[in-house]
Amino acid sequence: MKFICTTCNIYVYDEDKGDLNINVKPGTSFNDIPDYFRCPICNAKKKLFKKILKENDKKTRQKNMYISKNKIKDEKVTYHQIRNNAREQLQGICAVNRVCDGNPDRFCMGQSYGSNIGLGGVGKGLSFTENIKSLDKIKLKTRLISKHFEPDFSTNFLDYKISVPVMTSSLSGVRICMGGSISEIDFAVAVLQGAKNAGSIGWIGNTCDEGQELTGIKAVKKIGYGIPIFKPQKNNRLFELIKMAEKSDSLAVGVDIDGVGSTNWELNKKPVFRKSFKELIELVDSTDLPFIVKGIMCIDDALLAVDAGVRVIDVSNHGGRALDSTRGVAELLPEIVKAVNKKVVVTAGGGVRTGFDVMKMLALGADAVLVGRDIIRSAIGGGSEGVRLFFEYLKGDLRRGMIQTSCNNIKEINKNIFDNQLK
Ligand SMILES: Cc1cc2nc3c(=O)[nH]c(=O)nc-3n(C[C@H](O)[C@H](O)[C@H](O)COP(=O)(O)O)c2cc1C
């Protein structure tokens, strides 16, 4: 059997060969290697190694899926266990590192040579890393001497009250990008149900997989609410999808206009198009549902979206998966917020991993924050319960952050919490 280091994803220990460089004889089982063993490349601990599954082990992988539903029901499954399970399910795609930052040495960033990009970013991953950097450079100010309140992090999104200003970003492409250990519909249901159980709202993406294009709409129908975001196809097709969404209890509908740069749709030879201002107005006018445009990365587009009658803009570079070399979302966000001057609801997503990151995006002016990759890891590792537990994890840090920056509610999170030049 072979075991791979899930931190660097480079070193493989082969039991047949052993490793004479580290004094392990051929035929030594991985279990018999002492616990103090470290990966010779990145120094990761032995427990961070995973058995490499063979093709016919896929059944076992599927059996382990969701850490078995009974286990989730009977025992208290921790978010840590869910991440470990995700590492197993996403083997060869995402190492579920503690920090997911688009570093070019990460396993996910080695997949872009003509194949799909898994959970990585396009090009050199500059937009992906920039999202992280733009959040990381913001420093928070500890401010403690004031009357203690239990923070209230509920807020409104459109006409709905949500328990926390975080929603799942629109996601799709389980077979193409996420290893296919569950079906597209199970994934979509897990995301929307998990968000609902956490007291929030799930957005869901639009895969180009043959026969699966309506998965998002079907999942919304099943869960009772959610928001489908469609790829920028021809308007005639979008009108049809929007009509179906209206009948399926969608709270809003939208288009990820930056999906025009989708590598997956291109690989599958499915055409996607830019949208003219006129086409955007047609889409907005085709429905009574609030219309969302996802993928706004400049003031011009933001203002055109406002003029077209859009209700929500999502400031996002698709997690660095569409155009490489963009600015980070957190860097750009305040300019867009200022330009639209409260005429639309502004969401922001890209690089958000913790409740502290959520606070930063809110302080920069976002009305709500969207999370992508960590929702994938949570849904793949633990289904709807995984997603719910991820929201709980975010809430924990958000609460800690609000208490320590003296913010009693979401409205009080503003630039005063910053401790550097951004203020
Ligand atoms: C594997 C994968 C699939 C995605 N699928 C979609 C999609 O179908 N529609 C969409 O609008 N965005 C899609 N996105 C982008 C996310 O909605 C989101 O903008 C991005 O992941 C946010 O960055 P983060 O992952 O750093 O949180 C996808 C992202 C990933 C990683």
Determine the angle formed by the axes of helices 355-363 and 329-340, rounding to 10 degrees. Answer: 40
- pLDDT tens-place string over residues 108-123: 887 777 778 899 999 9
- pLDDT tens-place string over residues 131-174: 999 999 999 999 999 999 999 999 999 999 999 999 999 999 99
Strands 49-51, 155-157: pairing is unpaired
Strands 155-157, 160-162: pairing is antiparallel
- CA distances 392 to 9, 62, 81, 200, 419, Å, are 29, 26, 14, 11, 27
Among protein residues, the one whose CA lies closest to atom 15 of ligand 1: 318
d(CA 372, ligand 1 centre) in Å: 5
Highest mean pLDDT out of 1-5, 44-48, 67-71, 234-238: 234-238
Which of the listed residues 171, 172, 176, 390 should we mutate to test ligand 1's pocket, taking the one with most ligand atoms within 8 A of CB?
Answer: 171
pLDDT for residue 278: 98
- pLDDT tens-place string over residues 275-307: 999 999 999 999 999 999 999 999 999 999 999
**Domain-wise residue ranges, the chain:** 1-52, 155-417
d(CA 149, ligand 1 centre) in Å: 35
Mean local confidence (pLDDT), 315-323: 97
Q: Is the CB of 371 under 6 A from ligand 1?
A: yes
The beta strand positions in 187-275, using DSSP E, are 203-204, 227-230, 253-256
Does pLDDT of 53 surpass 60?
yes
Strands 345-349, 312-315: pairing is parallel
Residues 181, 171 contacting (CB under 8 angstroms): no
Q: Is the CB of 319 under 6 A from ligand 1?
A: yes
Q: Is the CB of 388 under 6 A from ligand 1?
A: no
pLDDT for residue 58: 55
Alpha carbons 174 and 37: distance in angstroms, whole number: 35
Higher local confidence (pLDDT), 198 or 59 = 198
Does pLDDT of 57 surpass 70?
no
pLDDT for residue 267: 84
CATH code for the part of the protein at 155-417: 3.20.20.70
Closest atom of ligand 1 to CA, residue 294: 11
Q: Is the CB of 229 under 6 A from ligand 1?
A: yes
Q: How confident is the model at residue 71 (pLDDT cuts 50, 70, 90)?
A: low
Does pLDDT of 364 surpass 90?
yes
What's the pTM?
Answer: 0.89
Does pLDDT of 66 surpass 60?
no
Q: Is the CB of 290 under 6 A from ligand 1?
A: no
d(CA 179, ligand 1 centre) in Å: 15
What is the DSSP annotation of 139-178? -BPP---S-----B--EEETTEEESSSEEEPP---HHHHS
Among protein residues, the one whose CA lies closest to atom 28 of ligand 1: 171
CATH code for the part of the protein at 1-52: 2.20.28.10
**Choice among 90-104, 290-304, 394-408 with the minimum mean pLDDT:** 90-104
- CA distances 67 to 7, 53, 62, 268, 286, Å, are 22, 17, 10, 32, 43
pLDDT for residue 63: 53
Q: Is the CB of 351 under 6 A from ligand 1?
A: yes
d(CA 318, ligand 1 centre) in Å: 5
pLDDT for residue 74: 57
Q: Is the CB of 386 under 6 A from ligand 1?
A: no
What single-letter DSSP state applies at residue 132? H
d(CA 12, ligand 1 centre) in Å: 30
Q: Is the CB of 116 under 6 A from ligand 1?
A: no
Q: Is the CB of 316 under 6 A from ligand 1?
A: yes
Q: Is the CB of 347 under 6 A from ligand 1?
A: no
Strands 49-51, 2-5: pairing is antiparallel
